[in-house]
Amino acid sequence: MQKVKQRVWSILLVCMMLLTMFPAAVSAEGGALPEAVDGVITLTENVDISASGYTVTGDITLDLNGFELKAANTGTGSIKVPEGAKLTLKDSSAEESGRIYTESAYSGQASGALIRVTGGSFVMESGYIYAVLDDPANKGQFAVGVENGGSVTIRGGKIEAGWYAISGNGMDVAKQSSIHVEGGTLVSTSDYALYLPHNCVTTISDGIVTGAAGGIAQRRGTLRITGGTIASEGTGDTGSWGDGTGGMGKAAVNVGTSSQGVYGDVELEISGGDFTAAKEAVSVEVGSSSEYEVKVSIIGGSFADDVSEYVPGGYTVIGSEEDGYRVVAEGEIPDENAVAAIGTHFYSSLAAAVSAAEDGSVIKMLRDTGLDSAVMVSGTLTLDLAGKTITGSDSANAAIAVTGNLTIRDSTAQKSPVVSADYQTVDYEAGKIVIASPNGAAVSVEKGGKLTLEGGIVQNTKNIGIGVHGSTDAASWNTPVKSAVAMNGGLVLAQEYGIGVYGNGASFVMKDGVISTVDNAAVAGNGSCTNSVNYGGTEIEISGGTLIGHITTPGYIANAIYHPQSGVLNITGGTIYADNGLGVLMRNGELNISGSVSIIATGDQSGQLAIFPLRCPETLWSLITRRGITITTIRLTRERFPFPAAASKPIRIRLR
């Protein structure tokens, strides 16, 4: 036998509305149903209206007063609340033992609910509605049905049904109904407690909604949940009914997962509540629809499983499979779950903290974290690494991309970087931004962005540490893009360039700190200059700190600064060291050396330097200096560099 579950309500809807317009006789076990006194009907004995039913007119309060009212899941034996009528149900007895119940089997008719709200208003303050028979999965009952613009409000009491405690009709679309659960308990012993296939706005702010299969099944309309407990016991079976009420699986909230999906546009908003799911059930299950729009947004609440796929930006999921999950707003998560903080506001990720930050904010890292993509910084921020490690995605072009103004520091660093006497190691304990990107940089400064490195470590184990990008398009090259990096401390480690400076307007200023590379120059540019690109027009100033260039590629010689592009390189201080190579290699632009500078190149290697042919008209190099510069070796070449074996001894060169 096929369970119809409200399928033919629409067929008999007009007929039943006509029938319910006429008052029905009322019979009672111990006498007639009492007359209303000041709008209140108070039971004084058990009453049976299963044969005659009852139609509410006007505004009536029904007080069960500890007694039982027997009705039926039939057109004639049910309680009807038509348009213009209001029924309030309560039980004033101390024991709260009163109930409305049925012993009639569901006949498959449209009038199958025990209480039918067909345009009127039903408010349940207390009491008990019971519509459960033996074998509820196949012979279930409906407790309260709402249609035709009706309104149901549950503030207390309990509704228990074999199938749905409260339900609508999927064919009911002409008028918008409403359901408000503000308290009380809704139970289905075999199915979903709340079934929403109709044109309806449903709100749940408190109470318990639980079913053997699930709490709520939504097929159409708007559902907003701000509180309460919604649960699936994970034991029910919704069957394989052909009208879409079957095959729904088990979930606290189920949206359109049956074979027929949703019946119309669906909007589900969850901002609070406790969603539990036992056995194989899940908290929220959502089907797809090609015909209708399905919107699901979760910005609060506690859940049995991870609901991240439904959580919008500005919110996050915290917790674990063992302890359960919570959805909270970024900035409001407990500090033990936070990755970063801005003052007393805590965030689940660096990206979330950056997104929430106002100009001038200081973001403090609270734990090590990995990034799925580059974090974009467009405002004016300070990032305190605080001894933590930020690991960028290997597939990203940067861990952090700066188009605004970013200062990086580390409040936990006890001392500045210390370089060993042989320049092979650097001792520095601090937080780190690290990436293993072969095609990018750990930090990329672009579109006029500004980066100030005060402390901490920036590292790329496969390519460039920090890239600063000006205008490189030949067509617009004359308009500089003034991206800038200032290094006042900290440590930059890189496989290739430590700092890469590219294009017109790009600048790098170094006052302190250490840059050390594995297989290329500490500071470098790009000599490409064609009809389409021009990487020249840079400004580089070294007034302090230590630059260390190593090389591991066979046949090549190290250099600490490589300048193949047009632009200006000013060196007024600091230590520049090339291991088995050349301290400063100028292939283009202008070099100005003055002040107290130590440029050291050691070793007896012979090999090839990187070659970029000069294509843009520019002076190869010019040297403007004052006396007293100590240079271990200075040699200029555009092809190969045969490094002399005896060149490790410092010599003093006086230039003017």
* Distance, CA of 311 to CA of 296 (rounded, Å): 8
Share the mean pLDDT of the chain. 86
Q: For residue 86, which of 126, 123, 116 has the smallest C-alpha distance?
A: 123
pLDDT digits (tens, 9 = 90+) for 155-193: 999 999 999 999 998 888 999 999 999 999 999 999 999
* Distance, CA of 365 to CA of 599 (rounded, Å): 37
Q: What is the mean pLDDT of residues 624-632?
A: 36
Structure confidence at residue 608 (pLDDT): 55
pLDDT grade, residue 4 (50/70/90)?
Answer: very low
Structure confidence at residue 27 (pLDDT): 38
Choose the weakest-confidence range: 435-449, 510-524, 554-568: 554-568
Choose the weakest-confidence range: 164-178, 356-370, 406-420, 589-603: 589-603
Contact 187, 157 (CB under 8 A): no
Q: What is the mean pLDDT of residues 329-352?
A: 90
Structure confidence at residue 613 (pLDDT): 41
Strands 523-524 and 546-549: unpaired
What is the biggest distance separating any 2 CA atoms in the chain, rounded to whole angstroms? 124
Structure confidence at residue 10 (pLDDT): 37
Has residue 19 got a pLDDT over 50?
A: no
In the block, tokens 């389409």 appear at: 532
* Distance, CA of 164 to CA of 411 (rounded, Å): 59
Q: What is the mean pLDDT of residues 44-60?
A: 94
pLDDT digits (tens, 9 = 90+) for 23-34: 333 334 434 578
Structure confidence at residue 529 (pLDDT): 92
Task: Report DSSP letters for 464-502, one per residue.
Answer: EEEEEE-B-BGGGTTS----EEEEEEEEEEESS-SEEEE
pLDDT grade, residue 245 (50/70/90)?
Answer: low
Structure confidence at residue 604 (pLDDT): 62
Backbone angles phi, psi at 579, to 5 degrees: -85, 110
Structure confidence at residue 568 (pLDDT): 96
Q: What is the mean pLDDT of residues 310-317?
A: 91
The 3-class SS string of 558-625 reads EEEEEECCCEEEEEEEEEEEECCEEEEEECCCEEEEEEEEEEEECCCCEEECCCCCCCCCCCCCCEEC
In the block, tokens 């090259």 appear at: 477
| Amino acid in position 248 | M
- pTM attached to this predicted model: 0.69
pLDDT digits (tens, 9 = 90+) for 588-627: 999 999 888 999 987 665 555 544 444 454 433 333 333 3
Share of the chain above pLDDT 90, in %: 68
Structure confidence at residue 556 (pLDDT): 86
Structure confidence at residue 607 (pLDDT): 56
Structure confidence at residue 632 (pLDDT): 37
pLDDT digits (tens, 9 = 90+) for 82-134: 999 999 999 999 999 999 999 987 766 555 799 999 999 999 999 999 999 88
Contact 360, 318 (CB under 8 A): no
Structure confidence at residue 194 (pLDDT): 97
Q: For residue 177, which of 214, 141, 152, 205 has the smallest C-alpha distance?
A: 152
Structure confidence at residue 110 (pLDDT): 53
Structure confidence at residue 333 (pLDDT): 85
Has residue 22 got a pLDDT over 90?
A: no
Strands 380-384 and 214-218: unpaired
Cα atoms in the 13 Å half-sphere on the side-chain side of 519: 11
Q: Is 100 exposed, middle or buried (0-12, 13-18, 19+ CB in 10 A)?
A: buried
